[in-house]
C-alpha cells in the first residue's frame, strides 16, 4: 500500500515546556488496557490536564486557543521512561502530527516515525523562543520542513531556524516508507516469490 510522503507539517503549535517528560506522563499506564489505540487521544497528558474531579487544569493542551494544533514544541529528552507504543499513539490521536524538541528518547522517536510523525531536534534557545511566541500568539503559523531540516514560522514564513532529524528517518518520511509493516505488505508478491525458491519453505 502507498503511504503518504511527508515532506513537511504545517499548522499551529502548542508549547509544553519541561525536560524529561516521560511516557507515563504522556499516557498514564492505567489507560493502557485498551484493545485498540483509537481512543487514546482522550488520555494524552491526562494526569496534568485533569484535576482529581475530572475538570480541566490550566494546562496549555486545554487552552481553547490551541485547539487544532498540529505541532508540539517541548524540551529535552521527550518521551523518556518506558518504551510503551501507546505514548506516540496517544499523541497522534490527540491530533498532533509533528514534534519539535531539544532531544528525544530513542525508542519514543522510533515509534513516532513509524506513525509518520516527524520528530525534529532544535537548539535550546530556538525551542524556547518559538515556545514563547506560540504562548503569546497561538495562531502563529509554524512549518516543520522535513526536506530542508528547518522550522519556519510567522505569517510570511521568513523567520526560521535549523533542526536535525536523522537521515534514515528523514528518508523514510520523504519516500513514504515510514511504516515497515506497510512496506512489507506492499512487497508481498516478492516475499512469496523468494519463499518459493527456498527448499525448506516448499516441503
Q: What is the pLDDT of residues 30-66, one digit of tens each?
A: 988 877 888 899 999 999 999 999 999 999 999 999 9
The answer to whether position 1 is within a domain reads: no
CA distance 201 to 119: 40
The answer to whether position 179 is within a domain reads: yes
pTM for the model = 0.89
Q: What is the pLDDT of residues 77-130, one digit of tens each?
A: 999 999 889 999 999 999 999 999 999 999 999 999 999 999 999 999 999 999
The answer to whether position 154 is within a domain reads: yes
The answer to whether position 2 is within a domain reads: no
- What residues make up the domain containing 92? 8-202
Contact 176, 3 (CB under 8 A): yes
Q: Cell 518559538 appears where?
A: 130
Q: What is the DSSP string of 56-93?
A: B-S-GGG-GGGTT--EEEE-SSBTBSS--THHHHHHHH
The answer to whether position 76 is within a domain reads: yes
Domain count, the chain: 1
The answer to whether position 181 is within a domain reads: yes
Q: Averaged over 167-196, what is the pLDDT? A: 83
The answer to whether position 185 is within a domain reads: yes
CATH number at residue 70: 3.20.19.10
The answer to whether position 90 is within a domain reads: yes
Amino acid at each position: 500500500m502507498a503511504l503518504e510522503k511527508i515532506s513537511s507539517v504545517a499548522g499551529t503549535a502548542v508549547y509544553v515546556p519541561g525536560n524529561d517528560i516521560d511516557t507515563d506522563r504522556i499516557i498514564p499506564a492505567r489507560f493502557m488496557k485498551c484493545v485498540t489505540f483509537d481512543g487514546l487521544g482522550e488520555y494524552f497528558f491526562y494526569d496534568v490536564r485533569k484535576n482529581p474531579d475530572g475538570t480541566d487544569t490550566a494546562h496549555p493542551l486545554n487552552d481553547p486557543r490551541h485547539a487544532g494544533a498540529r505541532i508540539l514544541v517541548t524540551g529535552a529528552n521527550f518521551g523518556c521512561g518506558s518504551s510503551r507504543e501507546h505514548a506516540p499513539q496517544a499523541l497522534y490521536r490527540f491530533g498532533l502530527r509533528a514534534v519539535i524538541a531539544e532531544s528525544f528518547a530513542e525508542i519514543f522517536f522510533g515509534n513516532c516515525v513509524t506513525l509518520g510523525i516527524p520528530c525534529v531536534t532544535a537548539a535550546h534557545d530556538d525551542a524556547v523562543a518559538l515556545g514563547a511566541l506560540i504562548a503569546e500568539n497561538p495562531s502563529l503559523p509554524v512549518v516543520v520542513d522535513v526536506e530542508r531540516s528547518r522550522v519556519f514560522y510567522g505569517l510570511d514564513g521568513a523567520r526560521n531556524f535549523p533542526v536535525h532529524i536523522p537521515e534514515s528517518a528523514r528518508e523514510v518520511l520523504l519516500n513514504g516508507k515510514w511504516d515497515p509493516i506497510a512496506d512489507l505488505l506492499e512487497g508481498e508478491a516478492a516475499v512469496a516469490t523468494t519463499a518459493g525458491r527456498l527448499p525448506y519453505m516448499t516441503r
